[in-house]
Amino acid sequence: MDIDNDLAGMTLALAWAAKGLYTTSPNPRIGCVIVKDGRVIGAGVTQAAGHDHAEIQALKDAAARGHDVRGATAYVTLEPCNHHGRTPPCADALVSAGLGRVVAAMDDPNPLVAGQGMAKLAAAGIAVSSGLCADAAYELNIGFFSRMRRGLPWVRMKTAASLDGMTALHNGQSQWITGAEARADGHAWRARACAILTGIGTVASDDPQLTVRAVDTPRQPRRIVVDSRLDIRPDARVLAGGGTWIVAAVHDANRAAALRDVGAEVIVLPNAAGKVDLAELMRELGRRQINELHVEAGAKLNGSLIREGCVDELLVYLAPTVLGDAQGMFALPALTALDQQRRLAFHEVKQIGADVRILARFTH
């Protein structure tokens, strides 16, 4: 493949990074393409945690194909790391390989790197630049950037509703308001998340699995249930297979033991009102290296998360139908003045099948 300019090189690197959409967490999704004399001689994507980063994969690819990388240009979607984590520093590998130039889309927000990788490359005589296609690289790793900068996951709240904002009839019937294409698209957003969060109300009424089924994925996100009183039944489908985190506000040794017996972990984070401290939960998830959190819950928990300032963006699927008096998307208190409203900015609006998908971000 011919690469005759930096934009083409970085665009290809971003395409390689996207191959890691479901696999790299808690590491960022990074792609690397090595170009020499206008030809791609090596390419790679960051592997699962503890395995090769994109730069190492690209160097190995070039070597396997019999190419000499000395003097070549590496296009990488995030600054090469300069610290020993689960793997050695990528900056050292690029220096040792004799690269002539490194073009990065963004500096790494990780304080262990934060410009030091590019500085090491420059000190070794490698020409460096940063900032090309930065917006695309950021979107691909929005959760990683959130965790590095704020200590919090990027929280995306998904809901599907009629055009008048209703998610279910009062009797609970909701399958299906949106079409098959929108449901599959929603599973793709599930798959890219590190974890999926719901509430005990949804578990009690729907008994969901909260797994990715409509798209192929090599790993399932962690499942999390907010359950203040530990009311969840040990045979709930969300607990099947183990690994589910139950977040409670009470200590109940017997119920906790029953949940541990089916492979769940109980995390107790009470607030002063005897409910789960949602803000502290977000901080705890950041500490547990959750980059992107996907919320699929009922109106009550949705409203509580928004009210507590825990949500970064809404992923809303609107069907071309009207349900009338039914269940809404968010249980929020009535406002007394318009200046109290929570404002969002439309990030993307796209038709998915017969439905419309809206990605809107809170402007806080």
Strand boundaries in 211-312, DSSP class E:
222-226, 245-248, 265-268, 292-295
Which pair of tokens denotes residue 36? Answer: 């020499």
Q: For strand 31-36 and strand 39-45, is the pairing parallel, antiparallel, or unpaired?
A: antiparallel
CA dihedral 194, 190, 271, 26 (to 10 degrees): 10
Find the helix or strand (DSSP H, E) in which 201 lies: helix 200-206
State the Cα–Cα distance between residues 143 and 313, nearest whole angstrom. Answer: 12
Query: Residues 55, 79, 296, 313: which is the catalytic one?
Result: 55
φ and ψ of 271, to 5 deg: -105, -175
Pull the structure tokens for residue 59: 């160097």
User: Which residues of the chain form beta strands (DSSP E)?
Assistant: 31-36, 39-45, 73-76, 101-104, 127-130, 154-162, 166-168, 195-199, 222-226, 245-248, 265-268, 292-295, 313-319, 327-328, 344-352, 355-362
- 3-state SS string over 205-222? HHCCCCCCCCCCCCCCCE
55 as an active site residue: the answer is yes
Question: Running DSSP on this structure, what letter comes out for residue 153?
Answer: P
Residues in Cβ contact with 162 at an 8 Å cutoff, skipping those fewer than 6 apart? 177, 318, 319, 321, 322, 323, 326
Catalytic site positions? 55
